[in-house]
Chain A
Amino acid sequence: MTARTFTAAAVLVSIAAASAFAFQRGGGRGSARVFRDSEGPIVLPSDANDKNEFNFARLRYTNVRASGMWGARGGWAVDYPKADRQFLMGVRRLTRLNTHSIETVVDLNSDEIFNYPWVYVVEPGHWSLSDKEAAKLREYIDRGGFLMTDDFHGTYSWGNFMASLSRAFPDKTVVDIPDDDPIFQVVYDLKQRFQVPGIVNYPFQQSHEYDGFEPRWRAVRDSKGRIVVAICHNMDLGDAWEWADHPEYPEKYASLAYRIGINYILYAMTH
């Protein structure tokens, strides 16, 4: 095989793999065209400088080094900041929680994270925590912090997610949350749940991405049995929050996403 032939074969394989990858995500059917912001730049709410009881803290992390399409996508800022702010509007409307109107971005390199006992991390299938960051995450949890993960799908993402999480919790195992756990009852009764798709699944004839066919509600518990890391795997609550106001995003998914988010926050504030 000549060099030219080898190069052509490699390009063909790459194109084929990228097509398959895109198909797995459900993309390529016009989601980017349908789900577009039409309101222009996001304007800070008038009460953005107020101080409130609850702050939506989004974790900024370093992406795992990867090649190809996998390495190009994902990251801490997915759905940021519209998902956060739109979700907070719902929290304000549906609960008595005194909520800050905008999100706060925190990371594991400074101690600022300790001011926010509830932290949301998106696409953790792409995260890569250093030993120092893993240790800080553990310290954060041990002091009483709560971590909610969202929007990562399939086996490959899970493996990468666990590679970092295990460094923070080498003594813990990830367990499934039973339907009768208080986290599914603290505000809303969520015994009946289903997979919440991201917009890549538009027009939502399927709800999974990659091989993440079944939504998994999993957790790391502390020594008292309390959930301290709530893992939403094979679902995209962030997209549901972000596009809840979009006529093309089904209401039932948005509604469940809000309920799950509210339950997780209220659970974190009571356990």
Chain B
Amino acid sequence: MFELLFKYPAIMFHKGEFVFGRSWPVWLLITLCAAAAAYVAFVAVRARDRAATPPRASASRWLRPLVLGALSWSTLAVLLLMLWQPALSVSSLKPRQNVVAVVVDASRSMSLPGQGTTRIAQARSLLDSNLLAAIQARYPVRIYTAGASATRIEAASAIEPNEPVTRLGDSLAQIAAESATLPIGAIVLLSDGSDNAHGFDRAALSALKQARIPVHTIGFGPESLTTDVEMLTAVAPTRALPGARIPITARIRHAGFDNRQAKLTAVSEGRVLASRQITLPPAGQLAAESLTIAVGKAGAMNVEIKVEPLGGELSPANNAQSVLVQIEDRLPRILYFEGEPRWELKFIRRAAEADRDVELVSLLRTTQNKFYRQGIASPAELVNGFPATSEEIFSYDGLIIGSVEAGAFAPVQLSLIRAFADRRGGGVLFLGGRTSLSDGAWQATEVADILPVTLSSRNNTFSRTPVKAELTQQGALHDLTRLDDSPQANATRWRALPPIADFQESGAPKPAALVLAETVTPGGRRPLLAIQPFGRGRVALLATGGTWKWQMLLDARDQSHETFWKQMLRWLVSESRSRLSARVSESVLNDTAKLRIDAEVFDSNYLPNSEAAVEARITMPGGETSLAALQPDPVRPGHYSAEFKALSAGAYVAQLTARHGDSEFARDELMFRRQDGVAEAFHPEQDRPLLEDLAAQTGGRYWTPESSRDLPKEIEFSEAGLSVRELHDLWDMPAAFLLLIGLKAAEWLLRRRWGAV
């Protein structure tokens, strides 16, 4: 119908450019149209004045001449427009002189079900039935498969979906590059658009646009997920201390398994680390589930977290994700300064002794003039009491301040405690006690800024009345307070703990603070354990010195006290870094090579150091090494970075060093891994937005297999290859004549009705 009225197919109007066949100036057309409008208006006004009938209501007195005048003017304007000979200028391919590239996605995802059969079978069938023949009727055709790259083949029937990865961008850019010697008029891509290992990068798109080759895409596969479970992401800390318990959080989507039970499992080297039942959410909702695992000794630990396949899944291969956890080869040290003998120190020390991967150094004021040191590395350590220099205090990774009044510290020591969290990036824990917090006048010091609560100005906030401790909602989920993997069971276990020996009213939590546990007192619930980040570090407040009761009042085999303190001590030091702190953009590269290495370098005062020479010696999977120099960031002092390409699958280790001249002053180690053939299993549904966008960006069009019968006709309109630009007259299209007749007929009918003729 469209073509009948408008003489040409719609695609010509879409592709073509509107021009005038006459060389007469356009301004003359506009002037004549304006003159016609003036003439019509003049005639209409005069006709109204001559009218013998008495004047009507003012609205119709003006409305009728206006409508009749507009119709007359429109007729004149259309006639004038046709005199200028409007036309479409369309670029079209020369038949038989241009090649059409038919590219078939041969990745593994094409073996997934499409409509009753596999996607690749559907694509082959489409080509064999009529599409290929229709294209070949006008243009020579080259057939390619797309996988890691484009491969030319002779016949579509030979295509098998066994490519482990799809790189559509690279494949199409490769074909576009051939257009330098081959007149490629268009590309027809048959694909599900399913996960593209690189994504469609700008370079590939730019190459296609530069060659002006339209890419027509035909999409296969369902456009939404059907009966499948897919693990979208798995997130774990990239670094952990040996023996740490770390959470792995998985985001899971599914279709067709509403409220079904499934088993979530974490596996490393064939060994099940953790497992539990989960309930999949209702349709359309993502599930966020976590498992807590215990990591082993120093080194790289690859952990696969998976949902055990459910019957009838579209693709069980996408039920798992891998994370790489770098188990650090370091022994963090924590300094615990206690102002008076307390049972808490004994039992914290005992809990720390059970953890060989964290070292606790304690400094206890036993008498008026004596300190008792434990865990020191040398007789000189802490011989003068609490550190008074940055070098000394920054040698620790964590700090615990017990029941000691602020007045016991010199001003420089108070500044160092603040800087310890702020600059050093260490963890600081403040304990409640007889001379702690506001009872120790800490609210008047600069250290009060780093606390997660606003200290009250009252005294006598410390009470030795035993109280129960209960987790908050956040505390039930937090790693620091995790006595059980299940949040509900965790909260229950905390409620079952014996009362703590004492508590302190600390103050209101600050906006950035997270209250993990509260004391349940007759006066209400008060923060017991609160944490907050401060600067590069983290700060915690435990408003009691009486958790030792958990140890003494529970069975000797109960590990609640030990677990809590082990987690607390590890939490304090888990984020502390050396003077060279490095990270990679991705620790697991799925079918991709590019990654970025970033490093932050500090001087001995933990101020940014931009004058270091930083380099990474990277050991490849085959054992060979590569050296990469990290360049300083001109904007961010102390930051360095380098790009790296992991060209083969396997494990990589990067040793980073920071030097001043020949003197190395800091080092760090990074691990990452590349794995191939993984990304293809994800996003099994058709990525129609990607295919549509690709077509729109290159001047092509997205087709479904059903609508693609019109595709051969549209291939003609292309500016690529050997093409010619032609003018197609529009003045003689039937729609124009129908418009003229319609305008005059409407005018005549209205004049009759209104008695104007």
Contacts and interface: CB of A to CB of B under 8 A. Distances in A.
Interface of A: 51-54, 94-98, 111, 114-115, 117, 139, 142-145, 186-187, 224, 265-266, 268-271
Contacts of B40: none
B597 interface: no
A189 B552 CA distance: 30
A242 to B, nearest CB: 23
B368 A270 contact: no
A52 B286 CA distance: 53
A114 B260 CA distance: 47
B343 A53 contact: yes
29 contacts: A51-B464, A53-B340, A53-B342, A53-B434, A53-B464, A53-B545, A95-B341, A95-B366, A96-B339, A96-B365, A96-B366, A96-B368, A97-B341, A115-B549, A115-B553, A142-B556, A143-B554, A144-B548, A144-B552, A187-B366, A187-B367, A187-B372, A265-B341, A268-B346, A269-B341, A269-B345, A270-B345, A270-B346, A270-B362
A142 B562 CA distance: 13
A55 to B, nearest CB: 10
A185 to B, nearest CB: 9
A98 B340 contact: yes
B364 interface: yes
B374 interface: yes
A266 B342 contact: no
Nearest to A268: B346
Contacts of B342: 53, 269
A53 B552 contact: no
A171 to B, nearest CB: 14
B526 interface: no
Interface in B230-269: none
Contacts of A144: 346-347, 350, 548, 551-552
A129 B510 CA distance: 54
Interface string B537-561: 0000000010011011111100000
B370 interface: yes
A266 B372 contact: yes
A51 B503 CA distance: 13
Given A117-B343, A224-B353, A266-B372, A95 B367 contact: yes
B119 interface: no
A186 to B, nearest CB: 6
Nearest to A182: B374
Main secondary structure of the interface of A (DSSP, over half): loop
A141 to B, nearest CB: 9
Interface string B367-385: 1101010100000000000
Which of A51, A114, A143 neighbours the largest number of chain B CB atoms within 10 Å of its CB? Answer: A143
Interface in B325-362: 339-343, 345-347, 349-350, 353, 362
Nearest to A118: B343
A269 B465 CA distance: 20
Contact of A186 (B345, B366, B368, B551): B366
Contacts of B551: 143-144
Interface residues of B, number: 32
A271 B346 contact: yes
Contacts of B353: 224
Nearest to B546: A53
A252 B198 CA distance: 84
Given A52-B464, A94-B367, A96-B367, A266 B552 contact: no
A95 B338 CA distance: 14
Nearest to A50: B464
Contact of A266 (B341, B350, B553): B341
Contacts of A270: 341, 345-346, 349, 362, 364, 372, 374
Contacts, number: 78
Contacts of B345: 269-270
Contacts of B556: 139, 142-143
A96 B345 CA distance: 14
B346 A53 contact: no
Contacts of B553: 111, 114-115
B347 A96 contact: no
A52 B464 CA distance: 7
Contacts of A139: 555-556
A75 to B, nearest CB: 27
Contacts of A187: 366-367, 370, 372
A175 B345 CA distance: 26
A187 to B, nearest CB: 5
A98 B389 CA distance: 31
Top 4 closest A-B pairs, CB basis? A51-B464, A142-B556, A96-B340, A97-B341
Nearest to A142: B556
A95 B372 CA distance: 12
A97 B367 CA distance: 8
A271 B350 CA distance: 7
B367 A143 contact: no
Given A96-B340, A186-B372, A270-B372, 13 more contacts: A53-B341, A96-B339, A97-B340, A98-B340, A139-B555, A143-B552, A144-B346, A144-B347, A187-B367, A187-B372, A269-B343, A270-B341, A271-B349
A117 B434 contact: no
B189 to A, nearest CB: 69
Given A95-B366, A96-B340, A96-B368, A117 B346 contact: yes
Interface in B517-548: 545, 548
Nearest to A226: B350
Contacts of A186: 366, 372
Contacts of B350: 144
Nearest to B370: A187
A53 B434 CA distance: 9
Nearest to A96: B340
B552 A117 contact: yes
Contacts of B554: 143
Nearest to B374: A270
Contacts of B434: 53, 98
A271 B343 CA distance: 10
Contacts of B548: 117, 144
Nearest to A52: B464
A80 to B, nearest CB: 24
Contacts of A98: 340, 434
A53 B546 CA distance: 9
Contacts of B340: 53, 96-98
Contacts of B370: 187
Nearest to B554: A143
A96 B341 contact: yes
Contacts of A269: 341-343, 345-346
A98 B439 CA distance: 15
Nearest to A224: B353
A269 B347 CA distance: 8
A94 B370 CA distance: 11
A145 B552 contact: yes
B341 A114 contact: no
Nearest to A51: B464
Contact of A115 (B341, B552, B555): B552
Contacts of A271: 346, 349
Interface in B54-78: none
Contacts of A224: 353
Nearest to B558: A143
